[in-house]
Structure 1
Amino acid sequence: MKTTRTYVMRERAERAERTRERVLTATVALGYSRPLAQLTLQAVADRAGVSVQTVLRQFGTRDELIAAAIEHEQGQVRDDRVADPDDLAASLRSLLVEYERLGDGMIRILGQEEWEPAAAAITGPGRALHRSWVMRAFAPAIAAAADAAAATDLLVAATDLYVWKLFRRDRGLGRDATAARIRALVDAVLASLPSGPGAPEASGPSPS
């Protein structure tokens, strides 16, 4: 009897976790595809295939749902982004795969941050996440630079989402051409960084 009860409880917990994941996935997808003001509990529930009451039972309030979705998505982005200082090509490739998947939605959210608190709660940590990625992916070059903060700033700018948008959307270039231009910007920044006194010489990017 105890074994049966344990199994039932475990099954309920797993079902609740699957529902939670579905609701979070629905929230993230809607957040990328429409103004955040339209991110209602009913819209989330409809997309996730559950009731509004289920959403409330899982997360409490709309604000708590959005906060959980932000944390969930940022964790996913951190896991997906390669930041390998020994393989610049792989690091940039993973960044551009992310931009292809999420870039348009991220641009849409950035356009709302001045008046939409939920957007600002996404974009601030997003910028910090990108800067952290740059610091890990380009660690040797930054460590060797005379001004580490300036080197980081330049590499953040060269790999910024709006640079991808400029080439990919505004210019209408294909993926390969966009990747080549961003790589050229990165290479130019790396080549221009003055080394600090006594710093180990930064190795240039390996051809890809």
Structure 2
Amino acid sequence: MRSYRMSARAESAERTGERILDAMLERFAESPYERIRLDDVAADAEVTVQTVIRRFGGKSGLMVAVVERELARIVEARELVADPGPAAVLAALVQHYERYGSLILKMYAEASLVPGLPELAIRGRAYHVDWCRRVFADRLPADEPVRARRLAQVVAVCDATTWRILRADGGLAPSEVELALAELLDAVLDPVPDRP
């Protein structure tokens, strides 16, 4: 009976933590970090400010926790692409940016305001470079100096900034963004190898 109460309490605490993180994420999506007040986040999550502070240590700790959670979700979503073919990869990437692109760019722009966030931004960028290297490994040239240059080009093409330029500035629909990215990548990568 006691372990049931403990697990119910732990589950309740977990749900409360998720509500707080969701409330902070929603506020961050709508407002500059400096204008977000813990009172508002707590009210949105239906908890007290003291609960937020006790759980996350304050506004910067809460923001770091949000970014850590979302980075883990981003990694999981990117790694789940079952078909490693170029079309499926680009469709998943554009879908990912449709959900997270604006938040990623906002986080990079405001990272210097939050202790601990610049390090997470570096981790996120390192993951993006590694993802590009792995996903397009069979289309990168063998010659190392050329390979390094082409990988840098791939990273730039697959960046959230490129998505924003195509989507917001260019006014392209998601399917058109996929096509534009494919055309840009085809210009710098080796042809798709034949599959057995």
TM-score by length of 2: 0.85
- Hey, what does 1:124 align to over in structure 2? 122
- Hey, what does 2:174 align to over in structure 1? 175
CA distance in 1, matches of 2:127, 2:43: 31
Aligned residue pairs: how many? 191
Instruction: Give the Å deviation of 1:65.
Output: 1.7
- Hey, what does 1:39 align to over in structure 2? 36
**Share of identical aligned residues, percent?**
34
CA distance in 1, matches of 2:161, 2:32: 19
- Hey, what does 1:187 align to over in structure 2? 186
Instruction: Give the Å deviation of 1:75.
Output: 0.3
- Of 1, 4, 7 in structure 1, the residue corresponding to residue 4 of structure 2 is 7
Instruction: Give the Å deviation of 1:162.
Output: 1.5
Q: Whose Rg is larger?
A: 1
Unaligned runs of 5+ residues in structure 2 are: none
CA distance in 1, matches of 2:41, 2:153: 39
CA distance in 2, matches of 1:117, 1:60: 13
TM-score by length of 1: 0.80
- Hey, what does 2:163 align to over in structure 1? 164
Give the number of the structure whose residues are more often helix, by fraction: 2
- Alpha carbons of 1:56 and 1:35: their partners in 2 closer, same or farther (altered >3 Å)? same
CA distance in 1, matches of 2:107, 2:70: 14
1:54 pairs with 2:51: yes
Instruction: Give the Å deviation of 1:80.
Output: 0.7
Instruction: Give the Å deviation of 1:145.
Output: 4.5
Deviations 1:77-124 (A, max 9, x none): 0001146784222221111111111222333333334x5245645533
Which has the larger displacement, 118-127 or 67-76?
A: 118-127
- Hey, what does 2:101 align to over in structure 1? 103
